[in-house]
Every structure is written in structure tokens, then in C-alpha cells.
Chain A
Amino acid sequence: NAGVTQTPKFQVLKTGQSMTLQCAQDMNHNSMYWYRQDPGMGLRLIYYSASEGTTDKGEVPNGYNVSRLNKREFSLRLESAAPSQTSVYFCASRVTDNSPLHFGNGTRLTVT
């Protein structure tokens, strides 16, 4: 059982480049999340998806876009990367808002 799988694990971008972070879960979960984790800032929600085809902005959505094309996959896109987006990005999922949240192992992104 793979759980929540994120790709890539590491990425280095130059300012202005774009990229998409991929996330897939095989637990038939309805809700999916994208967080970023920064030292001293804790975990902050970027975007949330309650179900296929629906997305909501979280606390820090600026500079990001998301896509929930099917129940399994939830991708995060940086259109024009900035050094402030250097962070560790986590995808998470759960069945309902009252069930445990499952996390992937993260993508470590550096923007130079």
C-alpha cells in the first residue's frame, strides 16, 4: 500500500522557471491538501480539494495553481518560481474532515 506518493523528491529551479509537483494517493480519499513547511513558520496550507473538480485557496495560495483531475491525483504548479518559494512541500489526504490526515514524504524545492 503506497499511501500518498509525491514526485519529485528534490528539485532546484532558477527564478522564473515553472514546474509541477505531482501527488497521488491510492487510499480512495476524498480530500487532498498541499502544504508548505518552512523553519519558524510551521505548516501552512496552500490549496485544498474536497473532491474531484473542486479546489479552495488556503492560507498562502499566491504564486501557485492546483489541479484535481481525478480522485487520486492533485498537482501543484509554480508558474514563475521565486526564491520565496524555496520550501518543503507536502501533499496530504484523508477520507473526510473528521478522519486522520495522511502525508507524503515531501518535495524539497530550492529556487535560486
Chain B
Amino acid sequence: KQEVTQIPAALSVPEGENLVLNCSFTDSAIYNLQWFRQDPGKGLTSLLLIQSSQREQTSGRLNASLDKSSGRSTLYIAASQPGDSATYLCAVSPYDYKLSFGAGTTVTVRA
């Protein structure tokens, strides 16, 4: 069974610092990996989707890398802002419909 781990569970940084969020998974036979953001009391918003054949994906201040062989993905958020405070989840998808989600990293950006 695919296990997805996100460490640390919580992170607090001053505004302007770069954020580095980690996601590890146990089975490298994946179709894609997604990063999501969840604000309190809201649903998940898809940030980036990386196909298994890709090494990284970028959107604005966000960059996600994928190393399938080592079972790792990293989400980088450049020049963090208080509005980046949220819970960030990763999810891996095998070659079917099922996704396995990590428990998330809760980020607080201090002004």
C-alpha cells in the first residue's frame, strides 16, 4: 500500500523567507503527483501537478520537483508572504483513479 509522508507537520517562518516543503512516498510506480493548498474551513486547491515523466513544474513563486526513484517531491515557495499561510498537502496517483494523500504541512508566515 502506498504511504505518503509529509515532514514537518507544521512550520513557522518570517515573511520573505523561502519555504521548502517535503513529501515522500513508498511506491515509485506513480502516474503523477499533485500539490494542494487547504485554507481553514475550505476545500483543497490544486497548485501543481507533476507527471511521472517530469522532473519539475513551476507556477509563479511555486516550484515543485519530483524524484521518482527516491520517492520524494519538494515544493518550494519563494519569498513567502502571510497569505501563503495554509496547509499544504501532496497526493500521489498510481496508474488508476486512486490517490494517496499525505497528512499535510501547516505553514504559518509571520509578518
* Interface of A toward B, CB cutoff 8 Å: 4, 31, 33, 40, 42-43, 45, 48, 50, 56, 58, 90, 92, 97-106
Contact = CB atoms under 8 A, between A and B. Distances in A.
Given A50-B97, A98-B32, A42 B103 contact: yes
27 contacts: A31-B97, A42-B102, A42-B104, A43-B101, A45-B99, A92-B43, A97-B31, A97-B93, A97-B95, A98-B51, A98-B93, A99-B49, A100-B49, A101-B34, A101-B36, A101-B44, A101-B99, A102-B46, A103-B43, A103-B44, A103-B45, A104-B43, A105-B41, A105-B42, A105-B43, A106-B41, A106-B42
Given A101-B99, A105-B42, A106-B42, 20 more contacts: A4-B43, A33-B97, A43-B101, A45-B98, A48-B97, A50-B97, A56-B97, A58-B98, A90-B44, A92-B44, A97-B96, A97-B97, A98-B32, A99-B49, A101-B34, A101-B36, A101-B91, A103-B45, A105-B41, A105-B43
Nearest to B1: A59
B101 A101 contact: no
Given A100-B34, A101-B34, A90 B43 contact: yes
Interface residues of B, number: 24
